[in-house]
Structure formats: C-alpha cells, structure tokens
C-alpha cells in the first residue's frame, strides 16, 4: 500500500478538515481572480457593445466614462459628412437612482441612436429590441424588472420590452437602454416649479435690456418653452460614435476631426484604455493585490500544515531509516501527501465556488485559463510546501527510532 495514503487514512479526520480549510482559501483565490476579470469585462461591455470605431467627445476631455462630456447634437451631422465614415450616431450615458417598492433602484441609462441603433446588438435573453422612438426600454435582469413592467422616470412612463444579461456599468449597476431622446428627457427632467422659475428668470433678463422693453413680444417668447427659442441650444449628448466604411483609414479620419476646435477623438482601443486606467484602475489593482496576498498566505498555511504532519511522523520516519528505507521513499511520502492535499483542496474550492459565485452581487467571471492558472499555482505551492517537511525528515537520525 502507498505510504502516503496509509498515513492519510491513519489521521483521516484531521486531513479532511485541513483540506476543506485550504480548499476554502483556494476558493477565495479563485474568486478574487474571477472578480478581477469580471470587473474588467463589466467595464468594457458598453464600449464594445456599441460597436464604435471612433469616439468623438468634448474637447480636452477623456470621454463619457471618465468625466462629463457634452456635445451639441449637430456634431452627428458633421461626423457623418467626413470621408471614410459609414455612419454616426449620438451616445448618451448617465446614472440615476430612483425608489421602487421602497428600495433604491440604481441604473445606468444608455441612449441608443434611434433609428440606426434599436438594440439588436444587445445581449437579449428575453423580449425584443426597441420598436418605437419613445416610451420603451430594454433593462438588464439585475435591475429586477419584469418583461412588460411599466416604470415611471421623470414625467413619462416606460415599458420594459426586452431583458439583457450582464449588461452593467463599470460600477456594477445594471443598464437600461432607451432611445437617445428618452435618455436625455430622463437626464434633464426638472420639476414644474423649477421650469417656471427659469422662465420667469429669462423674462426678467429680457426685460432688463432695451430690446425687451421695446418689443413686448420678446418677453412672451422668453417666458415660453425653451424649444421655441432659437438661441437656446437643445440638450447636449455625451459623445458621438462613428463607424468607418470598409477600407477607410482611421488615422486620416481622426486627423480631419482633430482639426475641429471643439472635439477630441479616440479610437475604440484608446477609449478602452482610458476607461481601464481611469474609473476602474484602483479597484483592479486592489483586487489583484489581494489575490497575490491570498496566494502567498495559502502557500504559507500549506507549508505549516505539511510541516506539522511531518512532525507527527518523526518516529515512523526514523524507523523507516533504521530498516534501510531509501531517502526517496521518505521524500515521496511527504511530497505525495502534499500533492494529494493540494489537489483535493483545489477540487473542494472549485465545487464550492460553483455554488457561491453566482450569488455574489458583482459578476465573478472564471474562465478555463483561470482554472488552469490556479491549478498550476496549487501544484507549485504543494511542491514548495513539502520542502519544509522534507528538510525536517532528512534531519531525523535512524537511532531516534529506539531512543
């Protein structure tokens, strides 16, 4: 019979409890890696989902995901007219928080460039894309909204016509998709009293100038709807996204747009890099640091456990030496025990993780590469953890068996 297996059976209870403990620790290591990867994937899901080749943002800003960016809607027409651009559409994105059923409902609001973008490229799991310009929305399932449910946002009521999965913002909030007009209506919604006071303020400013005093109709126009005053711009968009025609040179297209004095352009890769180095950079580095620390702690704990198990076997090891057992037999005993513990602990951590990770509030994205990487780390840890026990076993003298 294998000596390592025989020794494990001799102290089975302690070995099982120790393996479960190490497995829980490895589950946390695996989970931290999944959280790290999920954080990165969640941060990029919007930028990759819209399919933009070039992002056009406000001059000297880093885009809508890093800071506030405001552009007039007319920029869409200017971008469309650039040679090499296949199509362009406005991009609106902001975050809101409302009350629903006595609980806070926080969501990212994504404006789709209707009618070019109706949401066909979204990861729909139920329902359909947007079919009309107003009063419909596509919500992520993490928001807890049901298909067909009606939700009041601002002064309008929207119907959920589609559900997505894993469509979240970099902060982990579920995203709801509207047409860009509806998204702006939600973003710039004001109470009636605020609108009344603003109109009165405009009327007062118009009355204070000579033109307003000599033209009474100007006062009536100033106190009316903002949309009827030509001098007032419409709601601004967060960015304009452009798709290039086949064969178009992105550098040439950017060069034309960068000559404009009011915008800055980024390629899709540049926008992703700005996002990862901006709002999610600290969280990514902190999670990575915790993962490294947990891996080191796992190695130390396994080394101490194997060392303790070796101390309990000093007399049998000395007896083996006394009867002429070669050193590689003793080394194999300790190394095999360490590898068995590491393999079983990895299996325990993986099985527990399968049950717990889907219940986490943030997505835990564990890929096959991550599993192989952690398995390799466990193998290395198991080998190095056995070295301390092997060193102690090699120092045992045969005569200690009869001492």
Q: What is the DSSP code string of 214-245?
A: H-HHHHHHHTS-GGG-TTS--PPBSEEEEEEP
Global confidence as pTM = 0.72
How big, in percent rounded to 5, are the helix, strand and coil portions of the chain? Answer: 55, 20, 30
CA 77/CA 58 separation, integer angstroms: 16
Q: Which two tokens stand for residue 241?
A: 């996204």
pLDDT given for residue 340 in this prediction = 86
3-class SS letters over 127-174: ECCCCCCCCEEEEEHHHCCCCCCEEEECCEEEEEEEEECCCECCCCCE
The pLDDT > 70 percentage for the chain reads 86
Q: What is the DSSP code string of 82-144?
A: STTEEEEEEEEEEEEEEEETTEEEEEEEEEE-TTT--STTS-EEEE----SSSSEEEEEGGG-
Tens of pLDDT, residue by residue over 313-367, are 777 777 777 777 787 877 877 788 888 888 999 999 999 999 999 888 888 888 8
Please, are residues 137 and 96 in contact by the beta-carbon 8 Å criterion?
no
Does pLDDT of 44 surpass 50? Answer: yes
Separation in Å, CA 321 to CA 286, 331, 351, 399: 49, 12, 40, 9
pLDDT given for residue 55 in this prediction = 92
Tens of pLDDT, residue by residue over 155-203, are 899 999 999 988 888 778 899 999 988 998 898 877 767 666 766 666 6
Tens of pLDDT, residue by residue over 319-330, are 777 777 787 877
Tens of pLDDT, residue by residue over 112-123, are 888 888 888 888
Q: What is the DSSP letter of 71?
A: B
Q: Cα–chain-centroid distance for residue 127?
A: 24
Max intra-chain CA distance, the chain: 119
pLDDT given for residue 158 in this prediction = 95
CA 87/CA 53 separation, integer angstroms: 10
């Amino acid at each position: 019979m294998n000596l390592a297996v025989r020794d494990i059976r001799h102290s089975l209870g302690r070995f099982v409890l120790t393996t479960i403990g190490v497995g829980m620790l490895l589950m946390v290591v695996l989970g931290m890696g999944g959280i790290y990867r999920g954080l990165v994937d969640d941060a990029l899901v919007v930028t990759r989902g819209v399919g933009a080749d070039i992002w056009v943002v406000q001059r000297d800003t880093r885009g809508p995901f890093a800071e506030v960016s405001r552009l007039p809607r007319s920029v869409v027409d200017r971008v469309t007219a650039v040679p090499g651009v296949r199509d362009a559409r406005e991009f609106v994105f902001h975050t809101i928080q409302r009350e629903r059923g006595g609980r806070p409902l926080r969501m990212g609001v994504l404006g789709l460039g209707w009618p070019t973008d109706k949401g066909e490229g979204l990861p729909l799991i139920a329902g359909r894309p947007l079919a009309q310009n107003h009063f419909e929305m596509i919500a992520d399932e993490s928001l807890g909204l049901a298909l067909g449910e009606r939700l009041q946002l601002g002064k309008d009521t929207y119907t959920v016509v589609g559900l997505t999965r894993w469509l979240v913002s970099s902060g982990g909030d579920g995203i709801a998709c509207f047409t860009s007009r509806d998204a702006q209506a939600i973003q710039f919604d004001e109470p009636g009293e605020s609108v009344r006071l603003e109109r009165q303020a405009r009327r007062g400013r118009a009355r204070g100038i000579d033109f307003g005093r000599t033209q009474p109709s100007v006062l009536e126009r100033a106190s009316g709807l903002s949309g009827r005053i030509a001098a007032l711009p419409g709601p601004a968009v967060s960015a304009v996204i452009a798709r290039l025609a086949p064969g178009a040179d992105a550098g040439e297209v950017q060069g034309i747009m960068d000559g404009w004095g009011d915008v800055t352009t980024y390629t899709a890769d540049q926008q992703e890099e700005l996002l990862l180095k901006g709002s999610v950079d600290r969280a990514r580095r902190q999670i990575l640091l915790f993962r490294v620390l947990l891996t080191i702690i796992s190695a130390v704990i396994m080394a101490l456990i194997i060392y303790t198990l070796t101390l309990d076997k000093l007399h049998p090891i000395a007896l083996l030496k006394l009867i002429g057992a070669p050193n590689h037999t003793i080394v194999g005993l300790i190394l095999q025990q360490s590898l068995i513990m590491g393999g079983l602990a990895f299996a325990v951590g993986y099985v527990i993780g399968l049950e717990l990770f889907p219940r986490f509030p943030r997505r835990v994205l564990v890929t096959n590469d991550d599993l192989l990487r952690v398995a390799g780390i466990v193998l290395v840890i198991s080998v190095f953890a056995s070295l301390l026990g092997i060193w102690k076993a090699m120092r045992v003298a045969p005569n200690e068996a009869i001492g």
